[in-house]
Structure 1
């Protein structure tokens, strides 16, 4: 091997540095710099989660959020609008006051479920009783009149309020196994107890209401300290309240031991008739191929036990921040970059399904959709959703992402098409290349997914910042790519019956909801 002179070595090194400098992309560098040095995430999160609050479909807060987002985009000189896609039962949450007044006085942690009837401005005080374990539906029908004038508890007594990881850390193996066995027995017994009524947990509240109960009391523990799932009520005239595991257990044990607890409930909520529902749509118009689209996607609505911070406030923030950065750093994309903040995802992807149904002219010209909707964590998974050649273009775009973000992402190609779960599935069903930016867990399922603890303080802003950078760079690369993405679908494996695998079918949205 010939030894290089000092001058030759210096020229070689200089050439190498120059080549590296030439390969750096100023747009990508600008995106990263803007995201890290001028982030608006904390400000946006405060305004959306703390000021606007939860965004239940049909609520005034949902409409306020739609209007807030349009105003933000206009502040950034991005064209935006709210596009009506349907109507929903209008309902506005008020305060919930739940107290035990006998055999002693204690304020209880709890809240009414979404769409629960109010107590009409009054405080209702009555005994709390447990659904009994009866022989069959005939025995239950005979017992049912005894609920008149009472609150009825319909959830099982949890044997522990400690999550399993806490038991694993501190309990003996024998003690942990004993607890789990006891819990399994109790769960099976409670399932049978409810089945023997002739009703399900969904239909039972209406039967209790019809029989004269003054309210329904439940506790849907999320298997983590202090966390309960808060969904919707099925009663029409009397309130349904969820009480935290700790206080629900207290009431249950008192009732079971014959110390009949008496509780008082005031649940203030307001019915607002039928209200319009919207998607918020914003776009940066393409300069060369304005009728081809790169779509950033996140659902805007939430359940309202907390403030919808990680489901899907963080997805919303990711896409808003990505759009803000792109408008500043990459204001003239080749393809149109559109962002969709979808309504009523929680009731069945309704907003995105409506968009797909209403805009075939856009769907047929989609270059790529990037959706984020599983918590605050940094993106660690990206699958091809069954598109045969997705590895080629996604891999190429992903190679431009800074290594500190890219190297944490596990890819899977071609993958299988998602049939639900989040809004990317609405586009996949229509044959458009749509992908989920899937995030690190951060105990999402236990502590924040649909819970009363899904609040601002659970946001991990460093991870969301990384996700905004990723979304912006992927949108930039998809916009610039000279080649239109392939929509060729992979051959899906046969199902359990040996039949050929089928691509998910498009489904129409529910355009008038919550009325039944």
Structure 2
């Protein structure tokens, strides 16, 4: 008996000496079961997705199409029963752009329609037939040989690219081995250095800049570039101005500025068709191109986010947020990027409201504008409501000054990695959340979501929150064919989005939002990074 008591005392002492991260996270399992049942069996996520893509897609920032879609989303959130639903200006924009008509036909020994798509903010080009010129130059001296030869011509600016037969599948689920590797990550970069361009890479970039600058100087009629990908799919984003590689992405004129300089029409061409044109010209053929772009510009003084909420009870002044970006590129209908994330967040809010759950904290949805242009919508919202840099600076080295709302902010959960189901969550280096999120994922382990990694991921709006020291997280998602066929492509359409994946994602997002809203404490923040002083 004495020995047995000694064991009990030892176990008791051991349990009380355990670190805080080993204490199980409590949550309302009955409410989570309700959320799962509602979301998996009575989902509206695909209905939301179809409207945002088939009816209201694409949703290019600043365009009338974006505003029409945003008003529809706001009305849907009102119909769900959410409060304070509104379109909220986040800051200055400039001008919107809409494509009204486009055609491209190659004339030569055989005529054929060119698989291609105009880049956003390309100006109208009335139906024009002109020569195609291949600007085949890899040195400054070679570039100079084209001076005086590009005015009024359609210029092929890119090199051709080898197209290999794809023996590997275009789409994939995350393998257990890759998820295990993520789970075991220590979140540190390997090698201790950031990626650096080689001298050869810098030289190629410089030559590309000088080739484009020559097109502008000479008055080329339009610029054609090769699309990434293959199979007739066209990846397309915004047109651009010549920009020296040392100047930085954020510097220089933007095509959406209200007083943007004159822009040359620019077209992204399917790789196989682009390669054919290059080979034709190299063999001495002289193909011509008939090109027509009908574009419409509109004044857009401000950009707008879509905001709505379920008000909390005893902790209603504290905020839990979910969302994803609402804007898209124009080649497809902006389905996997990112009508899925918007639809999942809308469905998560619907689930919680339909079940009449009473969160302690206010749960707010944010559907962000202009993510594709540098997280402008989410950053604008954060600096308006939660935090800004000392002196209103955009310098990340300046001290963060939190506003009253920012002090009461708990967490933001984001969806913007395609249409794949959730497999877990990135901690963004916030180790204090590991046990919390692992516990919250446990009811969904059978749906494939179990991985928690301290690793960080980027490229979307949770980074805007994280950059201001606010807890912001992106879920780990199955890749599917997001990178290979869909992302910023003409095939980013409804059909690339599996219903069961989106149902699962909406259920997990709803559960995470509800659990965060019901905790006694807000989600823990990372220790503040030591500021480097005023620079």
Q: If the length of structure 1 is used for normalisation, what is the TM-score?
A: 0.80
Give the Cα separation in 2 of the matches to 1:105 and 1:441: 38
* 1:89 maps onto 2:95 in alignment: yes
Residue of structure 1 in register with 2:11 after alignment = none
Question: 1:459 and 1:504, CA in 2 relative to 1: closer, same or farther beyond 3 A?
Answer: farther
Superposition pairs for residues 344-423 of structure 1, below 5 Å?
A: 344-360=370-386, 361-399=404-442, 401-405=443-447, 407-412=448-453, 415-416=454-455, 420-423=458-461
Q: Tell me which of 279, 283, 292 is aligned to 2:318.
A: 292
Q: 2:215 aligns with which of 188, 193, 208?
A: 208
CA distance in structure 2 between the aligned counterparts of 1:39 and 1:218, rounded to whole angstroms: 42
Q: Provide the aligned length of Structure 1 versus Structure 2.
A: 439
Counterpart for residue 443 of structure 1: 481
Q: CA deviation at 1:27?
A: 2.2
Higher relative contact order (CA 8 A, sep 6+): 2
| 1:142 positional shift | 4.3
Query: What does residue range 2-401 of structure 1 map to in structure 2 within 5 Å?
Result: 25-79=29-83, 80-86=85-91, 87-119=93-125, 122-133=126-137, 136-160=139-163, 162-163=165-166, 165=168, 199-201=207-209, 204-222=211-229, 224-234=230-240, 236-360=262-386, 361-399=404-442, 401=443
SS in structure 1 of the partner of residue 149 of structure 2: helix
Quick one: distance in 2 between partners of 1:250 and 1:321?
Answer: 46
Cα pair 2:426 2:452 within 8 Å, conserved: yes
Secondary structure, in 3 states, of the residue corresponding to 2:436?
helix
Where does residue 485 of structure 1 map in the other structure? 523
Q: SS in structure 1 opposite 2:168?
A: helix
Post-superposition offset of 1:150:
1.2
CA displacement at 1:443 relative to structure 2: 2.4
Q: 2:194 maps to which residue?
A: none
Stretch moving more, 276-285 or 136-145: 136-145
Task: Identify unmatched segments of 5+ residues in structure 2.
Answer: 1-26, 171-197, 242-261, 387-403
Deviations 1:274-325 (A, max 9, x none): 4421111110000111111111020111111211111111111110000011
Per-residue deviation at 1:210?
2.8
Alpha-carbon distance in structure 2 between the residues aligned to 1:299 and 1:305: 17
Structure 1 residues 347 and 164: alpha-carbon distance in aligned structure 2, compared to 1, 3 A threshold: farther
Contact 1:90-1:275 within 8 A present in 2 as well: no
- Distance in 1, matches of 2:444 and 2:133, equals 59
> 8 Å contact 1:386–1:489 — kept in the other structure?
no
Cα separation, 2, equivalents of 1:248 and 1:137: 24
In the TM superposition, what is the alpha-carbon distance from 1:226 to its structure 2 partner? 2.9
Answer with 317-326 or 475-484: which moved more: 475-484
Instruction: Report the alpha carbon displacement of residue 445 of structure 1 after superposing the two structures with TM.
Output: 1.2
C-alpha distance in structure 1 between counterparts of 2:145 and 2:165, whole Å: 37
After TM superposition, give the deviation of residue 237 of structure 1 in Å.
4.1
CA contact (8 A) 1:230 1:305 kept: yes
Task: Tell me how far 1:410 sits from its aligned partner.
Answer: 1.0
Does the 8 Å CA contact 2:437/2:452 hold for their aligned counterparts? Answer: no
Give the drift of 1:73. Answer: 0.6
Does structure 1 residue 457 correspond to structure 2 residue 495?
Answer: yes
TM-score by length of 2: 0.77
Q: Aligned-residue CA RMSD in angstroms? A: 2.5
For 2:102 and 2:332, the matched residues in 1 are separated by 14
Deviation of 1:90 after TM superposition, in Å, equals 1.6
